[in-house]
Chain A
Amino acid sequence: AQSVTQPDIHITVSEGASLELRCNYSYGATPYLFWYVQSPGQGLQLLLKYFSGDTLVQGIKGFEAEFKRSQSSFNLRKPSVHWSDAAEYFCAVGNTGNQFYFGTGTSLTVIP
Protein backbone atom coordinates (compact mmCIF):
# COMPACT_ATOMS: atom_id res chain seq x y z
CA ALA A 1 0.00 0.00 0.00
CA GLN A 2 1.08 3.52 -0.68
CA SER A 3 1.44 6.13 2.00
CA VAL A 4 2.90 9.57 2.48
CA THR A 5 4.35 11.00 5.67
CA GLN A 6 4.96 14.66 6.34
CA PRO A 7 6.74 14.71 9.70
CA ASP A 8 6.40 18.44 10.31
CA ILE A 9 2.91 19.59 11.18
CA HIS A 10 3.88 23.24 11.39
CA ILE A 11 6.96 25.23 10.39
CA THR A 12 7.75 28.89 11.02
CA VAL A 13 10.41 30.71 9.02
CA SER A 14 11.45 34.32 8.65
CA GLU A 15 10.85 36.07 5.36
CA GLY A 16 13.93 35.71 3.18
CA ALA A 17 15.10 32.55 4.92
CA SER A 18 15.42 29.22 3.18
CA LEU A 19 12.77 26.54 3.50
CA GLU A 20 12.71 22.77 3.40
CA LEU A 21 9.53 20.74 3.88
CA ARG A 22 9.97 17.03 4.38
CA CYS A 23 8.07 14.25 2.68
CA ASN A 24 8.61 10.50 2.90
CA TYR A 25 6.68 8.01 0.84
CA SER A 26 6.09 4.31 0.86
CA TYR A 27 5.55 2.60 -2.47
CA GLY A 28 6.97 -0.54 -4.02
CA ALA A 29 7.46 0.71 -7.56
CA THR A 30 8.59 4.03 -8.96
CA PRO A 31 6.28 6.60 -7.45
CA TYR A 32 4.60 9.54 -9.09
CA LEU A 33 5.22 12.33 -6.60
CA PHE A 34 3.56 15.69 -6.26
CA TRP A 35 3.59 18.79 -4.08
CA TYR A 36 0.42 20.83 -3.81
CA VAL A 37 -0.19 24.10 -1.96
CA GLN A 38 -3.45 25.16 -0.35
CA SER A 39 -3.82 28.80 0.57
CA PRO A 40 -6.64 29.99 2.83
CA GLY A 41 -9.85 30.07 0.87
CA GLN A 42 -8.12 28.73 -2.23
CA GLY A 43 -8.19 25.38 -3.92
CA LEU A 44 -5.22 23.07 -4.07
CA GLN A 45 -2.65 24.09 -6.66
CA LEU A 46 0.12 21.97 -8.10
CA LEU A 47 3.63 23.23 -7.32
CA LEU A 48 5.61 20.50 -9.03
CA LYS A 49 5.69 16.81 -9.85
CA TYR A 50 8.20 14.02 -10.41
CA PHE A 51 7.74 11.00 -12.62
CA SER A 52 11.19 10.02 -13.81
CA GLY A 53 14.44 11.42 -15.07
CA ASP A 54 16.26 14.25 -13.35
CA THR A 55 15.74 13.87 -9.63
CA LEU A 56 15.73 17.62 -9.03
CA VAL A 57 12.53 19.14 -10.33
CA GLN A 58 11.64 22.78 -10.62
CA GLY A 59 8.19 24.10 -9.97
CA ILE A 60 6.24 27.29 -9.86
CA LYS A 61 6.84 30.18 -7.47
CA GLY A 62 10.53 29.36 -7.14
CA PHE A 63 10.02 25.96 -5.49
CA GLU A 64 12.05 22.86 -6.20
CA ALA A 65 12.04 19.30 -4.91
CA GLU A 66 14.56 16.48 -4.94
CA PHE A 67 13.65 12.83 -5.28
CA LYS A 68 15.93 10.53 -3.28
CA ARG A 69 15.06 6.92 -3.84
CA SER A 70 17.50 5.66 -1.20
CA GLN A 71 15.76 7.75 1.45
CA SER A 72 12.22 7.42 0.04
CA SER A 73 12.01 11.18 0.23
CA PHE A 74 10.76 14.03 -1.90
CA ASN A 75 11.55 17.18 0.06
CA LEU A 76 10.37 20.59 -1.08
CA ARG A 77 12.75 23.54 -0.96
CA LYS A 78 12.81 27.24 -1.60
CA PRO A 79 15.93 29.41 -1.24
CA SER A 80 14.16 32.54 -0.03
CA VAL A 81 10.66 32.53 1.40
CA HIS A 82 8.18 35.31 0.74
CA TRP A 83 5.30 36.28 3.03
CA SER A 84 2.88 35.11 0.34
CA ASP A 85 4.22 31.57 0.70
CA ALA A 86 2.35 31.13 3.98
CA ALA A 87 -0.03 28.24 3.30
CA GLU A 88 -0.60 24.53 3.80
CA TYR A 89 1.65 22.25 1.77
CA PHE A 90 0.74 18.71 0.83
CA CYS A 91 2.94 15.99 -0.55
CA ALA A 92 1.14 13.31 -2.55
CA VAL A 93 1.85 10.05 -4.34
CA GLY A 94 -0.07 8.56 -7.23
CA ASN A 95 0.10 5.52 -9.43
CA THR A 96 -1.06 4.19 -12.78
CA GLY A 97 -3.91 2.46 -11.01
CA ASN A 98 -5.41 5.89 -10.45
CA GLN A 99 -4.97 5.80 -6.73
CA PHE A 100 -3.81 9.00 -5.13
CA TYR A 101 -2.72 9.64 -1.56
CA PHE A 102 -1.99 12.89 0.23
CA GLY A 103 0.07 13.45 3.33
CA THR A 104 -1.40 15.22 6.33
CA GLY A 105 0.17 18.50 5.33
CA THR A 106 2.64 21.02 6.73
CA SER A 107 1.42 24.44 7.71
CA LEU A 108 3.91 27.20 6.91
CA THR A 109 3.98 30.49 8.79
CA VAL A 110 6.22 33.28 7.51
CA ILE A 111 7.41 35.90 9.98
CA PRO A 112 8.10 39.38 8.57
Chain B
Amino acid sequence: GAGVSQSPRYKVAKRGQDVALRCDPISGHVSLFWYQQALGQGPEFLTYFQNEAQLDKSGLPSDRFFAERPEGSVSTLKIQRTQQEDSAVYLCASSFTGTGGTDTQYFGPGTRLTVL
Protein backbone atom coordinates (compact mmCIF):
# COMPACT_ATOMS: atom_id res chain seq x y z
CA GLY B 1 0.00 0.00 0.00
CA ALA B 2 0.96 3.61 -0.29
CA GLY B 3 0.78 4.48 3.39
CA VAL B 4 1.61 3.12 6.81
CA SER B 5 -0.77 0.40 7.90
CA GLN B 6 -1.43 -0.96 11.35
CA SER B 7 -3.28 -4.01 12.55
CA PRO B 8 -5.49 -4.69 14.26
CA ARG B 9 -7.29 -1.35 14.27
CA TYR B 10 -9.03 -2.24 17.51
CA LYS B 11 -8.02 -4.67 20.21
CA VAL B 12 -9.79 -5.55 23.41
CA ALA B 13 -7.79 -7.50 25.93
CA LYS B 14 -8.50 -8.80 29.38
CA ARG B 15 -6.10 -7.66 32.03
CA GLY B 16 -3.12 -9.96 32.11
CA GLN B 17 -3.30 -11.00 28.47
CA ASP B 18 -0.45 -10.48 26.04
CA VAL B 19 -1.06 -8.47 22.86
CA ALA B 20 0.89 -7.91 19.66
CA LEU B 21 0.40 -4.84 17.49
CA ARG B 22 1.71 -4.78 13.94
CA CYS B 23 3.02 -1.92 11.84
CA ASP B 24 3.74 -2.03 8.11
CA PRO B 25 5.74 1.08 7.23
CA ILE B 26 6.04 2.64 3.82
CA SER B 27 8.33 0.47 1.71
CA GLY B 28 11.92 1.68 1.81
CA HIS B 29 11.52 3.87 4.85
CA VAL B 30 14.50 3.59 7.14
CA SER B 31 13.11 5.07 10.35
CA LEU B 32 10.21 3.72 12.37
CA PHE B 33 8.67 5.16 15.52
CA TRP B 34 6.11 3.84 17.98
CA TYR B 35 4.02 6.26 20.04
CA GLN B 36 1.38 5.88 22.72
CA GLN B 37 -1.51 8.34 22.67
CA ALA B 38 -3.76 8.43 25.71
CA LEU B 39 -7.21 9.97 25.41
CA GLY B 40 -6.99 13.74 25.10
CA GLN B 41 -3.19 13.75 25.02
CA GLY B 42 -0.50 14.13 22.43
CA PRO B 43 1.43 11.10 21.17
CA GLU B 44 4.24 10.07 23.49
CA PHE B 45 7.40 8.55 22.12
CA LEU B 46 7.94 4.89 22.93
CA THR B 47 10.76 3.63 20.74
CA TYR B 48 12.71 4.26 17.54
CA PHE B 49 14.20 1.92 14.92
CA GLN B 50 16.69 2.66 12.20
CA ASN B 51 16.29 -0.30 9.87
CA GLU B 52 16.39 -3.33 12.19
CA ALA B 53 18.32 -1.60 14.94
CA GLN B 54 16.38 -0.33 17.92
CA LEU B 55 18.34 2.80 18.68
CA ASP B 56 16.14 4.25 21.39
CA LYS B 57 13.69 2.52 23.68
CA SER B 58 13.75 5.10 26.42
CA GLY B 59 10.02 5.76 26.16
CA LEU B 60 8.85 2.21 26.81
CA PRO B 61 6.95 2.50 30.10
CA SER B 62 7.97 -0.84 31.55
CA ASP B 63 9.69 -4.12 30.78
CA ARG B 64 6.28 -5.46 29.77
CA PHE B 65 6.65 -3.52 26.53
CA PHE B 66 8.83 -4.95 23.79
CA ALA B 67 9.28 -3.92 20.17
CA GLU B 68 11.09 -5.51 17.26
CA ARG B 69 11.74 -4.94 13.58
CA PRO B 70 13.78 -7.99 12.65
CA GLU B 71 14.11 -7.44 8.91
CA GLY B 72 14.03 -3.69 8.89
CA SER B 73 10.50 -3.41 7.58
CA VAL B 74 7.48 -4.69 9.54
CA SER B 75 7.54 -3.93 13.25
CA THR B 76 5.67 -5.48 16.14
CA LEU B 77 4.97 -3.90 19.50
CA LYS B 78 4.24 -6.50 22.15
CA ILE B 79 2.73 -5.81 25.52
CA GLN B 80 2.86 -8.58 28.07
CA ARG B 81 0.47 -8.97 30.99
CA THR B 82 -1.61 -5.98 29.93
CA GLN B 83 -2.84 -3.55 32.55
CA GLN B 84 -5.71 -1.07 32.41
CA GLU B 85 -3.27 1.82 32.20
CA ASP B 86 -2.04 0.39 28.88
CA SER B 87 -5.35 1.37 27.27
CA ALA B 88 -4.48 3.90 24.58
CA VAL B 89 -4.04 4.35 20.86
CA TYR B 90 -0.71 3.04 19.65
CA LEU B 91 0.64 4.91 16.65
CA CYS B 92 3.33 3.85 14.26
CA ALA B 93 5.17 6.26 11.98
CA SER B 94 7.88 5.85 9.39
CA SER B 95 10.20 8.24 7.62
CA PHE B 96 12.41 7.93 4.59
CA THR B 97 15.75 8.82 6.09
CA GLY B 98 17.74 7.48 8.97
CA THR B 99 17.27 10.72 10.85
CA GLY B 100 13.66 10.29 11.75
CA GLY B 101 13.75 12.96 14.41
CA THR B 102 14.27 15.61 11.76
CA ASP B 103 12.36 14.12 8.86
CA THR B 104 8.70 14.07 7.91
CA GLN B 105 6.97 11.17 9.62
CA TYR B 106 4.08 9.35 7.99
CA PHE B 107 1.63 7.98 10.48
CA GLY B 108 -0.57 4.94 10.44
CA PRO B 109 -4.19 5.06 11.63
CA GLY B 110 -3.27 3.57 14.99
CA THR B 111 -4.41 0.60 17.04
CA ARG B 112 -6.87 1.37 19.79
CA LEU B 113 -6.16 -0.95 22.70
CA THR B 114 -8.71 -1.34 25.46
CA VAL B 115 -7.77 -3.39 28.49
CA LEU B 116 -10.70 -4.57 30.60
B-contacting residues of A (Cβ < 8 Å)? 4, 6, 32, 36, 41-46, 49, 51, 90, 92, 94-105
CB of A28, distance to nearest CB on chain B (Å): 15
* Contact across chains for B102 and A43 when beta carbons are under 8 A apart: no
* Contact across chains for A105 and B41 when beta carbons are under 8 A apart: yes
Query: How many residues on the B side are at the interface (Cβ–Cβ under 8 A)?
Result: 27
* Contact across chains for A98 and B99 when beta carbons are under 8 A apart: yes
Q: How far is the CA of A97 from the CA of B33 in the complex (A)?
A: 13
From the candidates B31, B40, B109, name the one contacting A98 in the complex (CB within 8 A): B31
A-contacting residues of B (Cβ < 8 Å)? 3-4, 31, 33, 35, 40-45, 48, 50, 55-56, 91, 93, 99-102, 104-105, 107-110
* Contact across chains for A43 and B45 when beta carbons are under 8 A apart: no
Known: A32-B101, A105-B41. A99 touches B56 (CB 8 A): yes
Q: Which residue of B lies closest to A102 (CB)?
A: B42
* Contact across chains for B102 and A104 when beta carbons are under 8 A apart: no
* Contact across chains for B102 and A46 when beta carbons are under 8 A apart: no
* Contact across chains for B102 and A44 when beta carbons are under 8 A apart: no
From the candidates A42, A92, A98, A105, name the one contacting B100 in the complex (CB within 8 A): A98
Residues of the B chain whose Cβ atoms lie less than 8 Å from the Cβ of A95: 101-102
